Amino acid sequence: MIEMPIIDVQKCDGCGLCIGVCRCNALAIIDRIVTIIESMECDWCTDCEGVCRTGAISCPFEIIMQES
């Protein structure tokens, strides 16, 4: 399983802006609700998060220390 941006369906108003900005077709509206499709091509550009007005989509980062 590959990590993907997270959607809060309660907050999503189905405007579709995130779908338009995503380069890898990882987002789609199914039954008026935005749905994420696993895609290796998603490079975590965070454009979907940046464009969403309602804060319904988020691209959280995991912060790790490199083993020395």
Partner 1 sequence: MAVQLEFLKGIPYFSGLGSVELESISKLIFEKAIDRAETVVFEGEPAAYLYFVASGAVKVFKTSAEGKEQILSIVRPGESFNDVPIFDGGPNPASARAMGPVLLYGVKRNDMETIFRNHPPIALNVINVLARRVRQLVSLVEDLSFRHVISRVARILFEHVGGEVGRGPRLTQQEMAAMAGTAREVVGRSLKALEEEGAIKLDRHRIIITDKEALQKIMGVPS
Residues that bind ligand SF4 (CB under 6 A): 5, 7, 12-18, 21-24, 26-27, 34, 42-48, 51-52, 54, 56-57, 59
Under 8 Å CB-to-CB from 31, ≥6 apart: which residues? none
Give φ, ψ of 17 to 5 degrees: -60, -40
Tell me which of 7, 12, 22, 26 binds partner 1, using CB under 8 A. Answer: 22
Under 8 Å CB-to-CB from 43, ≥6 apart: which residues? 23, 24
Task: Compare residues 30 and 65 and give the one whose CB is closer to ligand SF4.
Answer: 30
**Residue 60 interacts with partner 1 (CB under 8 A): yes or no:** yes
